[in-house]
């Protein structure tokens, strides 16, 4: 026979777990980086394990982008990043696109980076969760800048450069890649601890 107090604690654990995994998930394929998942904030706060702090994620407007080859990508130095107030010319992780980026618009404080998950054959998604202050700032930015092209940066490389398709209020950003290896690299860089 299970003591009444232990049974109550077990039920509470099941309820909290149910809240954590039952959130709605809406995915819009045309704007994977602005796709959101709505999970109640209380469920996330109660069920998410405490993790190391994640480095803020810089956001820069894209001024220009063009296809390139790896040999034409400028060298980057993670120990001496380009100042946030200057223009950055860099490539994406695949070294297939060359970007000219305006000075940094904001930094997003991330609280969680989910491991990659398979969407369909050949596409993987990495979901980033922001703290409430960054979620509000990102919501305001996406409302004020529809159709703008922005880049999420880590180590002076473009992690992803989506076009803002809708006002994002969920506090989450879903980034997509075409290979599992690229998704793993994306999650590792996005979730880099401070």
Domain assignment of residue 14, yes or no: no
Q: Is the pLDDT of residue 40 over 90?
A: no
Find the CATH number of the domain harbouring 154.
Answer: 3.30.1360
Domain assignment of residue 166, yes or no: yes
**Reported confidence tier of residue 191, pLDDT bands at 50, 70, 90:** very high
Mean pLDDT, the chain, rounded, equals: 79
In SS3 terms, 65-122 reads as EEECCHHHCCCCCCCCCCCCCCCEEEEECCCCEEEEECCCCEEECEEEECCCEEEECC
Domain assignment of residue 153, yes or no: yes
Domain assignment of residue 78, yes or no: yes
Domain assignment of residue 81, yes or no: yes
* Total number of domains constituting the chain: 1
Please give the DSSP secondary-structure letter assigned to residue 193: B
Domain assignment of residue 27, yes or no: no
**Reported confidence tier of residue 153, pLDDT bands at 50, 70, 90:** very high
State pTM to two decimals: 0.72
Q: Is the pLDDT of residue 27 over 60?
A: no
Range of the domain at 146: 57-191
Domain assignment of residue 35, yes or no: no
Domain assignment of residue 39, yes or no: no
């Amino acid at each position: 026979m299970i003591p009444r107090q232990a049974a109550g604690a077990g039920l509470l654990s099941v309820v909290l777990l149910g809240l954590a995994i039952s959130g709605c998930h809406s995915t819009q394929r045309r704007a994977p980086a602005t796709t959101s998942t709505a999970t109640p904030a209380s469920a996330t706060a109660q069920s998410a394990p405490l993790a190391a702090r994640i480095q803020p994620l810089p956001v820069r407007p894209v001024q220009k982008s063009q296809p390139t080859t790896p040999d034409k990508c400028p060298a980057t130095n993670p120990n001496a990043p380009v100042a946030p107030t200057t223009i950055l010319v860099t490539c994406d992780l695949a070294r297939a696109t060359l970007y000219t980026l305006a000075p940094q618009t904001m930094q997003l404080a991330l609280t969680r980076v989910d491991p990659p998950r398979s969407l369909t054959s050949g596409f993987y998604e990495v979901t980033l969760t922001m703290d409430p202050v960054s979620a509000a700032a990102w919501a305001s930015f996406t409302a004020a800048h529809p159709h703008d092209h922005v880049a999420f940066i880590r180590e002076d490389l473009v992690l992803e450069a989506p076009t803002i398709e809708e006002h994002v209020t969920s506090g989450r950003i879903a980034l997509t890649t075409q290979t599992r290896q690229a998704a793993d690299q994306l999650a590792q860089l996005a979730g880099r601890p401070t």
